[in-house]
Chain A
């Protein structure tokens, strides 16, 4: 066949810039118009942004309030606890990553991040102690990243598989202990948990709580038992029909009313309840998608092996179902993280809330652009890290 065809010249050579431009920007007359219009928009937008950033914006509002953004009005003499938490998380996270994979890029980037951190700290008004903390964080992370592969080769596999979750579990309690106090530390009320600290805390706790509830609801919705199915459907559909702010409102107003009068729930706890109840319903729908993607044959095969229903779910169905919906679940978690900003409406002083109180300082009235850009970038950073983690997790768990 191919012998009969006349040899045609190579249709396109990608080597030169001119052909690329012609192909991608100026192929037809309307593409020329579009290109020129886009260039004009980029020019206008870029010029406006540049002028604003370097002549009108006053970045001192960030410099002066850096501590407020991150920890709010956490008592200054107890701030070492927050540093401890960050250090601990760095250590555990880097150990986990180190055990899972050996990566030179990660080592280099952690080193670079530490160096950048050390450079930025003085700009933000940090002095000796902060420098030491940042150095310690970088050092511990690097050490653990190096230690991980060594541990993997020198310790039995079982110990690592069991040990890492245990370490994480312990870390949670240490973090909570450091935050609330008690057992030799002075107690700190939840009303001074503010800023990014509160945002991350509520998001993490809600994620951890809503995940199991969501899985249970999804299983309930797929259950052959009519009572359980109806109840699950009712819950999921009612919550999904309400806006989050409405759910938070209901949690804030109704929880104190339906609990006995001697139980006092503080605002943070009520907010976490609202976020969890809301997020669980959406997660349930995501997980249901995964459950529906499991062919019936898998379940029948598992039953034929003589597994009881709990093991069929735990060993065969759920691992496959959850793996197939990791992107959707992480998307939901990212949504939850962004949604924590709504807590500022019901009176919690998380990242968005603290920005409001910073903007009401007489020195910095009207500096909305700078502050919102900064906290927007903080939100973006966390969301980006989550989606990066999700992609890693997906690759790690994919069937080879």
Chain B
């Protein structure tokens, strides 16, 4: 038997792979050591110590808009906390609104009304093709700051007040009875759900309708009635913005920085989500529509039980990356002066000069946020996947 020619020892796959990987590791290691040594040298030259103690020992930058109490005498760690809350506020609200608008526009792009379809197309194509930063600057400088001063504010019915300082509109406000209402409604919903499932099972067993939605609804209304009788109050009160000596109290107030950022981010991301939704719905094969129609389902039920669950499987993965984009793009807040994480980080850098620590902190915060969003969305994605045998 002729011996297989094996070639020289270093050409054998095992050896070669090991060599290549060793070489890459060596190169990366060398780069890390080289850059690290430079870093240490430069930090020593600039007389900058390394450590995170400045976060608690030094006072933070001034922040214009806070959700929790903060004054520039507080330390930098608290400033970061305030900034994180600000970022989370715009990200969460933005994701909610962008999803709603995106789904609406996506469905409008498939509408059988020619005009609605074209309008939605124009919306998507316009918003997607201009840089987001430009849009944010436009909303802030050319729209919100062009509004009249607070003295000559625009008063819309509601009352909604629009002025240079921002937007104020009526909002629900909790009261003493809110907690009772919440608890009662939670218990009521669980009971109603159990009842509904029982009735459905009964319906399947008997083969005749049991009004499976009516009795749980009546149960919920009953619970509500009882709570209303006991507490004598509604769960929420409508709080309207009121002007007192040029100061707005009550209602929900957004500054123009926050409004511009939220509006810009939402409309921009919604344009991308609309395309994803459209592609998802289009991906459901025609046969599924026809089959649903043949079963005699009404259009809404057809959408709810046949088309949308299948479209969702196509929609969710790209939707996740749009949510991530929105979270990352919220860092453009610095362009409109909204104090988010990036804004506070660069302001703290200017005050303390501790670049390495702040860069690490910034990276850690954004990576954690991205990771959280993708974990949550992946969990959701898993729950809607097709269960196969």
On A, residues with C-beta under 8 Å from B are 24-25, 27, 31, 34-35, 38-39, 41-42, 224-228, 231, 238, 240-246, 249-250, 253-254, 256-261, 338-339, 341-342, 344-345, 352, 359, 366, 368-369, 372, 375-376, 379-380, 383-384
If A25-B113, A369-B142 touch, whether A352 touches B133 (CB-CB below 8 Å) is: yes
B70 at the interface (CB under 8 A from A): no
How far does the alpha carbon of A234 sit from the alpha carbon of B330 in the complex, in Å? 24
Contact indicator A260/B342 (Cβ below 8 Å) = no
Given contacts A250-B359, A366-B146, A368-B138, 7 further A-B pairs with CB under 8 A are A25-B115, A34-B113, A238-B367, A242-B370, A250-B363, A341-B131, A376-B130
Chain B positions 331 through 355: 1 when the CB is less than 8 Å from some CB of chain A, otherwise 0: 1101100000010011001000001
Contact indicator B38/A380 (Cβ below 8 Å) = no
Main secondary structure of the interface of A (DSSP, over half): helix
Residue of B nearest to A37 (CB): B116
Contact indicator B38/A341 (Cβ below 8 Å) = no
Contact indicator A338/B115 (Cβ below 8 Å) = no
If A228-B24, A257-B38, A259-B38 touch, whether A352 touches B113 (CB-CB below 8 Å) is: no
**What is the count of residue pairs linking A and B with beta-carbon distances less than 8 angstroms?**
150
Main secondary structure of the interface of B (DSSP, over half): helix
Contact indicator A253/B355 (Cβ below 8 Å) = yes
How far does the alpha carbon of A26 sit from the alpha carbon of B74 in the complex, in Å? 62
If A24-B113, A38-B116, A243-B342 touch, whether A226 touches B21 (CB-CB below 8 Å) is: yes
B contact residues, total (Cβ < 8 Å): 53
Contact indicator B42/A35 (Cβ below 8 Å) = no
Contact indicator B130/A380 (Cβ below 8 Å) = yes
B231 at the interface (CB under 8 A from A): no
A253: chain B residues at CB < 8 Å are 349, 355, 359
* Chain B nearest Cβ from A232, distance in angstroms: 10
B190: chain A residues at CB < 8 Å are none
Identify which of B25, B111, B113 contacts A227 (C-beta below 8 A).
B25
Instruction: Mark out the residues of chain B between 131 and 165 whose CB falls within 8 Å of any chain A CB in the assembled complex.
Output: 131-134, 137-138, 141-142, 146
Residue of A nearest to B36 (CB): A258
Contact indicator A261/B41 (Cβ below 8 Å) = yes
Q: List 8 A-B contacts (CB under 8 A).
A: A38-B113, A231-B24, A231-B28, A240-B370, A250-B359, A257-B355, A261-B38, A261-B45
How far does the alpha carbon of A379 sit from the alpha carbon of B366 in the complex, in Å? 28
If A225-B20, A338-B131, A339-B131 touch, whether A241 touches B370 (CB-CB below 8 Å) is: yes
B35 at the interface (CB under 8 A from A): yes
B45: chain A residues at CB < 8 Å are 261
B178 at the interface (CB under 8 A from A): no
Contact indicator A24/B114 (Cβ below 8 Å) = yes
